[in-house]
A = this chain, B = another copy of it.
Amino acid sequence: MVSIYERLDALNIALPKLTLPVAAFVPFLRSGNLIFLAGHIAKIDSKPWVGQLGSNLSTEQGKNAARAVAIDLMGTLHAAVGDLNHIQRILKLMVLVNSTPAFTEQHLVANGASELFAQVFGDIGMHARSAFGAAQLPFGSCVEIDLIAEVDA
């Protein structure tokens, strides 16, 4: 069986080290079999990926940003469980897209994250999802995603 890490290698994805939030909260928490991940904002070169869809970023750029967030989320999941092969299911993504009132392709932006979870985790990466337009995001970032996953006991 191909492990999650072999799939990541095949995609040339290196998981980032866990970065701790600069505030009074934590990047992840476990309760029973559920893991709750804090909202992760899109970053580029370790800085907030600033921009707004419908204004200065294209849907394709937003999709790339969402994919980058998914990689960071996987890095946090790895730090949370020690071994991504213990993940039973990616349950739920909430995808916030920094949007002007005219931009209506939040679902396409969110696919950048959803498709990577499916590629890396296979069937157990297929999740329920909500995607919508935020008026603005912390640090002016273009995308923010949080996640609930199920781990084995």
Contacts and interface: CB of A to CB of B under 8 A. Distances in A.
A36 B91 contact: yes
Chain A binding site: helix, strand, loop or mixed by DSSP? mixed
A144 B118 contact: no
B128 A27 contact: yes
Contacts of A115: 23-24
A136 interface: yes
A37 B133 CA distance: 19
Interface residues of A, number: 59
Contacts of A114: 23-25
A127 B31 contact: no
26 contacts: A22-B107, A24-B114, A24-B115, A24-B117, A25-B93, A25-B129, A26-B128, A28-B128, A29-B89, A29-B127, A32-B32, A36-B92, A39-B129, A39-B131, A39-B132, A99-B135, A100-B101, A100-B136, A101-B136, A103-B136, A104-B139, A106-B136, A107-B139, A130-B144, A130-B146, A131-B138
- State the 10 A-B residue pairs at the shortest beta-carbon distance, nearest first: A39-B130, A133-B136, A133-B135, A24-B114, A107-B138, A38-B128, A104-B140, A25-B129, A135-B135, A132-B134
Interface of A: 21-29, 31-34, 36-39, 52, 54, 89, 91-94, 96, 99-107, 110-111, 114-115, 117-118, 126-140, 144, 146, 148, 150
